[in-house]
Chain A
Amino acid sequence: MEKLIGNEAVPKVGPTAVRSIGAWAAQAVLVVIAAYVVVSARGLGVWLPQGPGPGFFPLVLAVALIVLSVAWFVQTRRAAGGDPAEDGGAFPRKRAAVTVASLVVLAAVLDFVGFQAGMLLFLLFHLRVMGRCRWLISVVIAAAGSVGGFHLFNDFLLVPLPYATVPPLTWLGV
């Protein structure tokens, strides 16, 4: 039986407890979402003369999700020893959060500052700040990626990428 003699680390309290909390949080989120779906599904109409209404499947699925989340909760309570950690411990949470935040900012401003300016700054940020690359390399790659990529897609492949729509940048035609 591979599970017992496998090569997972001896469960530590730290990461495992964190993992359990993560699992509980996920279960809670799922239950909340499922509850919302149950409520709105009933508003959509569950059964019609011709068969299942628009709310039928969402209702069934939401109920199933609640049941499954509870089952999962029961499972995680039992397996207090912890599942084998995938990457051996904590992943770089801060980096991930910063990456996500930078993406959100980029997406938010993309229609305003345009693809070239937005992506230029984005790439510079990731190369220089997150990746600690040297200035020259960062600038070259950032410029190639933003401006070069823009022209590749816009002019050559005929795939439109956003132009800028706020005054200072529109004068530059980006």
Chain B
Amino acid sequence: MRPRAFLAVAAAIGISLTSAACGPNKTASASGDGQDWPRKGKPISLIVAFAPGGAVDTAARLVAPVLEKELGTNVEVVNKPGAGGQIGYTALTSAKPDGYTLGATGSPSVVVSPLDKSRGAKYTRESFQPLGMQVIDPALIGVAPDSPYNSLADLIDAAKKTPNKITASTTGIQTGEHFAAVDIEQKTGAKLALVHFSEGSSQAIAAFLGGHVQVYVGNVSDATDLVKQKKIKVLGVMGEKRSEFLPDAPTLKEQGVDVVMATARGYSAPAGLPAEVATKLEGALKKAIEDPAVAAKMKDLGLQTNYLTAADYTAFWGKQEETVKSVLPLVTKK
């Protein structure tokens, strides 16, 4: 190589080296044992499988600073959106289980994606190690304020008399609302005409407010503002107990329909964490989730903080998978 060229290349490399040395040091993760975890200066990635600004992302960004304090090292939120969470979950489960990669996991997306074969997900429930659950957002069912149905029983009766006539919104095929509606149909015989708004809850709400669909099936956090504006009559909430945001709305269970469907959001690691690392992480997460400031902000978003330990979260996840498995054939068979 000619001398000038050589000098130039050396200079270029030199420049890169010096600036890189000033930048954050992100070396590839080496496997660590639990004793000296986390190493100071080595950041932890918190993978959020959804777009920035959404509910999952917001929750993660609220929790991250507290985690940083508890663990003594940087926690960086990394967004890997796409394919309804599948991209981010794949990234999480294929990372090394050394405690330096965590992920925000939300159901039903994390439950459904491995079960539907056609989506080709490269992970299963066993690929995750749940660490703690943060919020539960139960589903609910409501109608317009001037609708003729005043209770869930009215709606179910009407739906049984005229199957596939009463339109109800969901936020897409194989979403929580879809499963809930099909579950209701399984247990009561009430068949609603489901309209899937795959762009999300805002589309569903717009259609509902515009009178294009008669029944709104969605989450409590989406509906609390509608309730304040008196634009919806809530017929029932699909939680184990009443929602603290809608104390006047009876649960479906109270009304004799045994359907429970909720969006649950928590945090997990790739399966196979060393025991000490897991314990430390679980403890730190518990502190972060139950932190009063964090819980208050979540409440502002309409989300009920409902901490579950890793063991309970795992059990909850398993139960959700059972429900989904039982309903899935009805949902995919068309």
Contact = CB atoms under 8 A, between A and B. Distances in A.
Do A and B share a complex?
A: yes
B4 to A, nearest CB: 6
Interface in A97-128: 116-117, 120, 124
B16 A143 contact: yes
B70 to A, nearest CB: 23
B19 A142 contact: no
B31 interface: no
Contacts of B17: 172
Contact of A147 (B8, B9, B15): B15
Contacts of A146: 16
Contact of B12 (A139, A148, A165, A171): A139
A155 B26 CA distance: 13
Interface string A134-146: 0110110011001
B40 interface: no
Given A135-B4, A165-B28, A170-B28, A155 B12 contact: no
A160 B78 CA distance: 8
A162 B163 CA distance: 53
Contact of B23 (A120, A135, A151, A167): A151
A157 B16 CA distance: 20
Given A151-B19, A172-B17, A120 B12 contact: yes
Which interface residue of B11, B20, B27 has the most chain A CB atoms within 10 A?
B20
Contacts of A142: 12
A68 to B, nearest CB: 30
B21 A173 contact: yes
A25 B25 CA distance: 50
A24 interface: no
Interface in B1-38: 4-5, 8-9, 11-12, 15-17, 19-21, 23-28
Nearest to B26: A163
B187 interface: no
Contacts of A135: 4-5, 8
Contact of B20 (A48, A124, A147, A160): A147
A161 B9 CA distance: 23
A28 B27 CA distance: 49
A146 to B, nearest CB: 7
Given A116-B20, A163-B26, A172-B17, 16 more contacts: A48-B334, A124-B9, A135-B5, A139-B8, A143-B16, A147-B19, A151-B19, A151-B23, A155-B23, A170-B28, A171-B27, A172-B20, A173-B24, A173-B26, A174-B16, A174-B20
Interface of B: 4-5, 8-9, 11-12, 15-17, 19-21, 23-28, 78, 334
Interface of A: 48, 116-117, 120, 124, 135-136, 138-139, 142-143, 146-148, 150-151, 154-155, 160, 163, 165, 167, 170-174
24 contacts: A48-B334, A120-B12, A120-B16, A124-B12, A135-B4, A135-B8, A138-B8, A139-B11, A143-B12, A143-B15, A146-B16, A147-B16, A147-B19, A154-B23, A155-B23, A163-B26, A167-B28, A171-B27, A172-B17, A172-B20, A173-B25, A173-B26, A173-B27, A174-B16
